[in-house]
């Protein structure tokens, strides 16, 4: 039986994530709460970083404030005061950050909090520099901050759960792959708000090469995981990223039915 908090978390996942509801739902109890908690904590700060109507200084104040308080035992009150002036503006996933932390099993919550604090601090830095990306090194740092670090966190959660060992460096490349595909998918919207994640002089060709380089390592990461729920979890976003790239190349986007077809294909495949 699912408790109320787990139900709320799964509902929030359903409304915030196209990609991760299915893979997280397929995890075993315990690991499911840990990964759902990590997803929602990071989504909570991502919604601040990406917020369309919050001024830059407010985003920085909120992200720095979150980073400085999440690891403290008294965080619930501190976060409530931090969010209070913006409670009409912030997304519910952000306002309920303390609940998502409570969802995480005790024996691994510190790792999730460390990852959240680090990402919030680094997002504040990126907001401060207006996401200025000039070189491949800048892009690598950005994709590390918002996605590669998630790969590291997941690697630690697999180990925590049942001792499954996976490669940290390849996990970072896995995260970078997903993020770089998103950058391609969102290019027009990003341009419309005056932001570009393409380094100076880069077009689709260079970004395609960046994605391929990282995707090779993501494939290698997956190949090293034994069959089971962790393998299935990782295979879904990677297959969706591949499918999305194909769709973009053909000038379209994945529709809900395409997403389901891809998920069915990979979860029904041999290594399950
Ligand atoms: C080892 C391993 C599995 C590493 C991967 C780490 C990971 C999950 C990074 C997050 C990357 C990312 C771009 C999430 C948002 O995707 P989205 O916009 O497609 O998802 P959404 O539908 O949830 O918004």
Place of tokens 């002036």: 85
Contact (CB, 8 A) for 64 and 118: no
Q: pLDDT digit string (tens) for 178-196?
A: 999 999 999 998 998 888 9
Mean pLDDT for 241-253 is 92
How far, in Å, is the centroid of ligand 1 from the Cα of 174?
9
Alpha-carbon gap, residue 63 to 121, rounded angstroms:
6
Average pLDDT over residues 48-60: 96
To test the ligand 1 pocket, which listed residue (15, 19, 170) has its Cβ within 8 A of the most ligand atoms? 19
Average pLDDT of the segment spanning 207-234? 96
What is the atom index within ligand 1 of the atom nearest the CA of 154? Answer: 1
Provide mean pLDDT across the span 149-173. 98
Q: What is the ipTM score, two decimals?
A: 0.93
pLDDT confidence of 1, banded at 50, 70, 90? low
pLDDT for 18 equals 84
Q: What pLDDT does 13 receive?
A: 97
Question: What's the token pair of residue 58?
Answer: 């407010």
Provide, rounded to the nearest whole percent, the portion of the chain with pLDDT above 70.
Answer: 98
CA of 237 to the centre of ligand 1 (A): 7
- The pLDDT, as a whole number, for residue 269 is 64
Pocket of ligand 1 (CB under 6 A): 17-20, 147, 150-151, 154, 171, 174-175, 178-179, 182, 221, 234, 237
Residues 126 and 142: beta-carbon distance below 8 Å: yes
96 or 270, which is more confident: 96
Name the average pLDDT for the chain: 95
Ligand 1: residue whose CA is nearest its atom 24: 17
Predicted local distance difference test score (pLDDT) of residue 199: 98
CA–centroid distance, 177 to ligand 1, in Å, is: 9
Ligand 1 centroid to residue 163 C-alpha, Å: 23
Asked if the model's pLDDT at residue 272 lies above 50, the reply is no
Using CB atoms within 10 A of its CB, is residue 23 exposed (0-12), middle (13-18) or buried (19+)? buried
């Amino acid at each position: 039986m699912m408790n109320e908090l787990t139900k709320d978390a799964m509902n929030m996942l359903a409304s915030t994530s196209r990609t991760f509801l299915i893979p997280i739902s397929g995890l075993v109890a315990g690991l499911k709460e840990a990964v759902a908690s990590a997803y929602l904590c990071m989504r909570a700060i991502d919604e601040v970083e990406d917020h369309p109507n919050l001024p830059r200084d407010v985003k920085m104040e909120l992200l720095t404030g979150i980073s400085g308080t999440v690891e403290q035992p008294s965080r619930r009150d501190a976060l409530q005061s931090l969010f209070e002036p913006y409670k009409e503006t912030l997304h519910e996933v952000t306002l309920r950050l303390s609940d998502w932390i409570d969802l995480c099993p005790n024996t691994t919550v510190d790792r999730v909090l460390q990852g959240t604090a680090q990402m919030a601090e680094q997002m504040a830095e990126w907001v401060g520099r207006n996401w200025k990306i000039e070189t491949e090194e800048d892009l690598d740092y950005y994709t590390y901050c918002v996605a590669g670090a998630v790969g590291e966190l997941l690697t630690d959660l697999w180990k925590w759960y049942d001792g499954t060992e996976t490669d940290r460096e390849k996990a970072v490349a896995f995260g970078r792959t997903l993020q770089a595909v998103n950058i391609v998918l969102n290019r027009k919207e990003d341009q419309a708000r005056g932001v570009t994640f393409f380094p100076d002089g880069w077009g689709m060709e260079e970004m395609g090469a960046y994605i391929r380089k990282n995707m090779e390592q993501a494939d290698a990461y997956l190949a090293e995981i034994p069959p089971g729920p962790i393998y299935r979890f990782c295979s879904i976003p990677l297959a969706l990223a591949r499918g999305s790239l194909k769709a973009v190349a053909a000038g379209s986007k994945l529709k809900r039915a395409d997403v389901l077809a891809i998920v069915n294909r990979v979860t029904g495949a041999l290594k399950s």
